[in-house]
Amino acid sequence: MIIKINNCLKWVSLPVIACLIALTTTACNSNKASSDSNNSSVAQTVSNTDTKTIPETAVTVTDKGCEPNQLTVATGKNSFVISNKSSRVLEWEILSGVKVIGERENIAPGFVQKLKEQLEPGEYEMTCGLRSNSKGKLTVKVADNATQASTTVDQNKLIGAIAEYKVYVTKETDQLVDKTKTFTDAVIAGDLAKAQKLYAPTRVHWERSEPIAELFSDLDGSMDARADDFEKKEADPKFTGFHRLEKALFQDKTTKGMKPIAEKLRNDSLVLQKRISTLTIEPKNMVGGAAALIEEVAKTKISGEEDRYSGTDLWDFNSNVEGSQKIVELLRSQIQKNNPELLKRVDDNFAKVNQGLAKYKAPEGGFVTYNKLTEADKKDLKAAINVLAEDLSKLRGTLGVD
């Protein structure tokens, strides 16, 4: 359970829920921002007590990075207008250390998307295209003559669900660690057939818990990045993790030279396990995660780019759906109370997506390779997934999680 202790969120054991449920929790205050804002582009400063006005800050991402590369904004709710003028699909993130505070994924070249985020005072980084690019700087300051807005979310109604979700994510991460060891042991031993067989079942646990796992930008990059995220693509030495091993196992059909990559993946999974064990899951990460899992399938994974070498994409799709459905189940009572019609649509759409995926289950378990699907099959799947994603995107507003 999360409670407020010395102005910070803390986890406590579930037996004390009855005694603490009335407490209102708040997020920990970030470090105060530095007063040095030289060479920074200053966003419009407004009073955050005016809920009707959200300042907008424009950011353009090119193949070289962010323009401007330094920004200063006022504390509270901000809207970033991100223009992709690079040659690649990108994601734009706000980072506090290695933790992702906010992100907008899958921005296609030539497109513009917005990210709205509640920000506390402090120094942040922003990602600027390719993972090999340097990061930009974002400074968040308390606006002059403005009262800092409270970022408190009434989490009492969500405390039980968040606690149960932490248990779920922890168990999935523990299984990821165990299966990653078995998988990488096969790679290191040179057992190509065994490693190929273990690849997709191992990734299941990453994909189910992805909304939380990818909060750590460094591990997301080293464990799950695709070749397109790097300047030299497959030849880039920073291209590691599951998909680097996937290329070796299924395209190159060899384990030769993969021992360092396998060992790094194994070690990274242990670091992820340790970080998640002490992580405080915020409501926006859980509630927003239900939509994020499905939106990623709809926007990029449906094309087959995720597991392009192995064709095991349907394993990932199904795991994303399972992770999203778990979140909805944990939030069911609150969604039912606030918007029963939405819950009914979500349930119906989950059923349609699951029925669609069931068509492609393999007799030996798992799913057929993605190349077995026709374009019509993919179109049907995408249609159902898009409708589900649209409804899930309403959960944050329905539950008052901003």
From first to last of the 402 residues of the chain, give the pLDDT tens digit.
444 444 444 444 444 443 333 333 343 344 433 333 333 333 333 333 344 578 899 999 888 888 898 999 998 888 999 999 888 888 888 888 888 888 887 788 888 988 888 888 999 988 877 665 668 899 999 865 444 444 344 456 799 999 999 999 999 999 999 999 999 999 999 999 999 999 999 999 999 999 999 999 999 999 999 999 888 999 999 999 999 999 999 999 999 999 999 999 999 999 999 999 999 999 999 999 999 999 989 888 888 989 999 999 999 999 999 999 999 999 999 999 999 999 999 999 999 999 999 999 999 999 999 999 999 999 999 999 999 999 999 999 999 886
Q: If you count DSSP H runs as helices and E runs as strands, how many of each does the chain have, helices first?
A: 12, 12
Instruction: Give pLDDT, residue 215.
Output: 94
0.75 exceeded by pTM: yes
CATH fold match for the domains 166-280 and 282-402: yes
Taking the domains of the chain in order of start, what are their residue ranges?
A: 1-27, 41-141, 166-280, 282-402
Q: CB under 8 Å to 112, separation ≥6 — which residues?
A: 81, 82, 83, 84
352 and 384 in contact (C-beta within 8 Å)?
yes
Helix 159-189 with 313-338: angle, nearest 10 deg: 170
Instruction: Give pLDDT, residue 280.
Output: 93
Ranges of beta strands (E only) in 108-156 are 112-119, 122-126, 136-141
Instruction: Give pLDDT, residue 355.
Output: 96
Instruction: Give pLDDT, residue 155.
Output: 56
Indicate the SS3 state at residue 94.
strand
302 and 386 in contact (C-beta within 8 Å)?
no
CA distance 283 to 198: 33
CATH for the stretch 41-141: 2.60.40.420
Give the pLDDT confidence of 364-385 residue by residue, as tens digits.
999 999 999 999 999 999 999 9
273 and 173 in contact (C-beta within 8 Å)?
yes
Give the pLDDT confidence of 251-275 residue by residue, as tens digits.
999 999 999 999 999 999 999 999 9
Q: CB under 8 Å to 132, separation ≥6 — which residues?
A: 230, 231, 236, 238
Q: HSE, CB side, 13 Å, CA atoms: give it for residue 320.
A: 24
Q: CB under 8 Å to 204, separation ≥6 — which residues?
A: 315, 319
Class in CATH terms, 282-402: mainly alpha
The third-level CATH classification (topology) of the domain covering 166-280 is A middle domain of Talin 1 (1.20.1420)
243 and 225 in contact (C-beta within 8 Å)?
yes
